[in-house]
Amino acid sequence: MIVLHHLSDSRSSRIIWMLEELKVPYELKRYDRVEGRSPPEFYNLSPIGKSPVLVDDGKSYIESGAVVEHLVRKYGRELKPSENDLPQLEKYDFWTHYSEGSLMMLVVGLFVNNKAVDMSPFVSRFLVRKITNTINDHYYLKELYLNLDHIDDHLTTSKYFAGDYFTAADVQMSYPLLCLQPTILNTRPYPNIKRWLKGISSRPAFIAASEKSNDKYFRLFNETKFSKEEDEPEISSFSISA
Ligand SMILES: N[C@@H](CCC(=O)N[C@@H](CS)C(=O)NCC(=O)O)C(=O)O
């Protein structure tokens, strides 16, 4: 039996999507955040108290990439290109690692800087905002735009992240792009990322996961109105949760 320990508005929403794609039975245990962080009981599930935590046949799996690979290995080999399809497999490897290894750390960096402003005493907030804006402009946003251009370029010639067909690499890449979609993705066209987001969001398993989790990234995405001509969503602002 699979149990997914799901922290609200978190990366484990993509594991719900993965489980829905695989059509395996699972139990969803929900946890509310305490002051934006994992509740104390989460530390009984994982030594680092981070979401997702997946328990399968009594064994615990943490770290989204490792959780996804476990699920693919045991229940859904078709969600990963085979060794005979090396070009797609290499792309699969790249994007599955890239999601947490490169992209998410930029998203979290922006989140931490936003938080620094929110948490600073009122008298110093102006100065803290000036400092964090400088860090964002010279590092996080600069890097993020470089990365989003790279992703959009890749999707020019590739329907999905690993190539012509849907794989677990798309599930891994969904979380950072859903986080960024209502805000930063609006600042430039990114037509291929938006085409990909529209494509994945019409999958029945994505819709089921969105309903089951009711996480804010799914909600904000579902509320997005894509204009027919430009394919650009309307801007709505929100803060990213780590
Ligand atoms: N790279 C890890 C990151 C895990 C992580 O940071 N999860 C966040 C939720 S999105 C979390 O548990 N935050 C609560 C906290 O840090 O207290 C993974 O992909 O599993």
Q: Are 158 and 151 in contact (CB under 8 A)?
A: no
Distance (Å) from CA 54 to ligand 1 centroid:
13
Q: Position 136: which residue type?
A: N
**Mutual angle of helices 168-180 and 191-201, in 10-degree steps:** 120
In this prediction, what percent of the chain has a pLDDT beyond 90? 84
Distance (Å) from CA 209 to ligand 1 centroid:
19
30 Cβ below 6 A of ligand 1: no
Token duo for residue 176: 């950072």
pLDDT on residue 142 = 95
Residue 125 has a CB neighbour count (10 Å cut-off) of: 14
* Shortest-distance Cα residue to atom 12 of ligand 1: 50
pTM for this prediction = 0.91
**Model confidence band, residue 30 (pLDDT cutoffs 50, 70, 90):** very high
68 Cβ below 6 A of ligand 1: no
Q: Is residue 158 left, alpha or beta, with left meaning phi > 0 and alpha meaning psi from -120 to 50?
A: beta
**Model confidence band, residue 221 (pLDDT cutoffs 50, 70, 90):** confident
The burial of 195, by beta-carbon neighbours within 10 Å (0-12 exposed, 13-18 middle, 19 or more buried), is given as middle
Give the CA distances from residue 25 to residues 16, 53, 147, 226, 236, in Å, rounded to whole numbers and listed in that order.
11, 16, 36, 34, 35
In this prediction, what percent of the chain has a pLDDT beyond 70? 93
**Model confidence band, residue 96 (pLDDT cutoffs 50, 70, 90):** very high
Closest CA to 208 of 1, 49, 10, 21: 21
Give tens-digit pLDDT for 135-150. Answer: 999 999 999 999 999 9
- Nearest 5°: the CA angle 56, 160, 100 is 50
pLDDT on residue 231 = 47
pLDDT on residue 219 = 87
* Shortest-distance Cα residue to atom 10 of ligand 1: 10
- Classify 86-223 by CATH class: mainly alpha
Assess whether pLDDT exceeds 50 at residue 44. Answer: yes
Domain spanning 2-79: which superfamily?
Glutaredoxin (3.40.30.10)
- Domain positions in the chain are 2-79, 86-223
Nearest ligand 1 atom, CA 67: 20
CA 229 from centroid of its chain's CA atoms: 27
112 Cβ below 6 A of ligand 1: no
Ligand 1 pocket test, candidate residues 50, 71, 175, 241, most atoms within 8 A of CB: 50
Helix or strand run (H / E) with residue 20: helix 12-22
Assess whether pLDDT exceeds 50 at residue 232. Answer: no
Q: Give mean pLDDT, residues 91-109.
A: 97
Give tens-digit pLDDT for 113-168. Answer: 999 999 999 999 999 999 999 999 999 999 999 999 999 999 999 999 999 999 99
Assess whether pLDDT exceeds 70 at residue 235. Answer: no
| Residues 6 or more apart in contact with residue 160 via CB below 8 angstroms | 166, 167, 169, 170, 196, 199
93 Cβ below 6 A of ligand 1: no
Assess whether pLDDT exceeds 90 at residue 51. Answer: yes
